[in-house]
Amino acid sequence: MSERFEQGVAALRRQMDARIVSYFSSCVHCGLCAEACLFYTETGDPKYTPIHKLEPMRKLWRQEYTFWGRLGVKLGLADPLTEQDLADWESLVYDSCTLCGRCSMVCPVGNDIAYMIRKEREGMVAAGYAPDGMKEATRRALEIGSPMGVTLKTLQATLKGVERNTGLTIPVDVQGAEYMTLFSSMEVVNFPEYIESIARIFAAAGVSWTISSEAFEATNSGIQIGDSKAAGELVGRVVSAAEKLGVQYVISPECGHAFTAIRWEGANLIGRPLPFKVIHILELLEQLKEAGRLKLEGQTDIRLTFHDPCQIVRRGGVVEQPRQLLREVAPGFVEMRDHGVMNWCCGGGGGVSANERADPLRLQAFQRKKKQLDELGVETMVTACANCRIILEEGIEHYGMDVQVTGLTELLAEHLAGSAKS
């Protein structure tokens, strides 16, 4: 038994909390979770059944928490968990699960399967069985501060462009600002229009905000790969920057897992309550609108739909805000058949987009979103996650579809009173 494997088993053992033990005790192998998973529905391959992806962890639970398992292993009648199991399951655990949590919504005995996979990944990564793309992203996040290698200089260059386009001064390291904003690397590199949009909206709404030059990255590769130590380190950087600036709120951007990382796992990762409140940009925009500080004008007559980012909506609880905001500017907003907390994932969450090996499978799974869009016949899809956006655009291009994707904050900025384009 290799030392690395032992570390993996030890890490897996540490994940066996009351939730995990109750989940394994309750599972009756009904198979319903398969029907909730786009990797199963779009391939028809039973190996993608969500609970099957937990076989290594189930084996450990069985051999340590059940009578027959203990007896079986002692008598040599049952197979114990082996390193080969982890090797065999690596692609199932990482390539075919986006941690979207749709399966967790349908399990009759209430198992939160996404939580179980998140925990199982802790053991996988400790044993060295994680995709290279995700390992690299995590390394870059820890060493450079961004999974995509975005540095402060890159941000500064982007901010210069934002200032040029908006005519506004972007506040950096402003002591005592009310809000500190984070961005995903994807926004800094691919979608600076998001930064422009919040700069315009915040200026119009009189929001006191700042960016920290020490911690501006919102994404957290640690929670995707399943490395709590790395995840805690990354959250810790944001916490210390926010403490230094004395802000009251930290704004999580249009990025799904970034919100989960800081809003729901953040305090638990650093082991103490966060010294500030975390708010998602869509929550803040909705609050500003309700308070009459975000004034919108003009409406688009385009028929459009909203793609729910799983970690913001189903796993994050920001369900109604995007809809209320959209209805303000888009009377032609229509819902996909399964939406809100029962939406279908884009296929690239949970680190799958950072895992090149998974690309063909991800594109196959995208057929689910394609079916949803074909059924609706819309040509514009709004979303609120830069990663979803990239994945959706790739899928749309791959299947030669005629659908435009845009960010919700960006759409709202276009309808800001006084600067509306339509």
Partner 1 sequence: MFLDFVEGPLWYVAAAVFLVGVAWRLAAIARAGLKDDLSVPRTPGTTGAVATVFRRFLPHREFMRPAAFQMVAGYAFHIGLFVLVLFAAPHVEFIEQRILGFGWTPAPHWVFLLAANFAFAGLLLLWLRRMLDPVLRRISTPDDHIGTGLTFVVMFTGCMALFESHDFLRALHMLFVDLLLIYFPFSRLMHAFTFIFSRGFTGATMARKGVSA
258 binds partner 1 (CB under 8 A): no
Q: What string of DSSP letters covers 144-181? A: TSSTT---HHHHHHHHHHHHHHH--PPPBS-TT-SEEE
In the list 2, 6, 68, 246, the residue contacting partner 1 (rule: CB under 8 A) is 68
Q: Which of 171, 152, 267 is nearest to 213 (CA)?
A: 152
Q: CB burial class (10 A; 0-12, 13-18, 19+) of residue 301?
A: exposed
47 binds partner 1 (CB under 8 A): yes
371 binds partner 1 (CB under 8 A): no
| Residue placing its CB nearer to partner 1 in the complex, 91 or 165 | 91
32 binds partner 1 (CB under 8 A): yes
376 binds partner 1 (CB under 8 A): no
Per-residue contact flags (x/-) with partner 1 for residues 282 to 321, judged by CB under 8 A: --------------------------------xxxxxx--
> Which run of H or of E encompasses 210?
strand 209-211
27 binds partner 1 (CB under 8 A): yes
In the list 160, 277, 295, 327, the residue contacting partner 1 (rule: CB under 8 A) is 277
59 binds partner 1 (CB under 8 A): no
Per-residue contact flags (x/-) with partner 1 for residues 94 to 123, judged by CB under 8 A: ----------xxxxxxxxx--x--------
CA separation for the pair 105, 49 (Å, rounded): 15
359 binds partner 1 (CB under 8 A): no
- Rounded to 5 degrees, φ, ψ at 256 are -65, -65
367 binds partner 1 (CB under 8 A): no
| Tokens describing residue 108 | 């009759």
| Residues 226 and 118 sit within 8 Å (Cβ to Cβ) | yes
> Which run of H or of E encompasses 63?
helix 55-65
| Tokens describing residue 415 | 């309808």
Residue 116 Cβ vs partner 1, minimum distance, rounded to whole Å: 11
| E-only strand ranges, 249-399 | 249-252, 277-280, 304-306, 333-334, 380-383
337 binds partner 1 (CB under 8 A): yes
Q: By CB under 8 A, name the binding residues for partner 1.
A: 16-23, 25-32, 34-36, 40, 46-47, 49, 51-52, 65-68, 104-112, 115, 263-268, 271-274, 277-278, 314-319, 337-338, 341-342
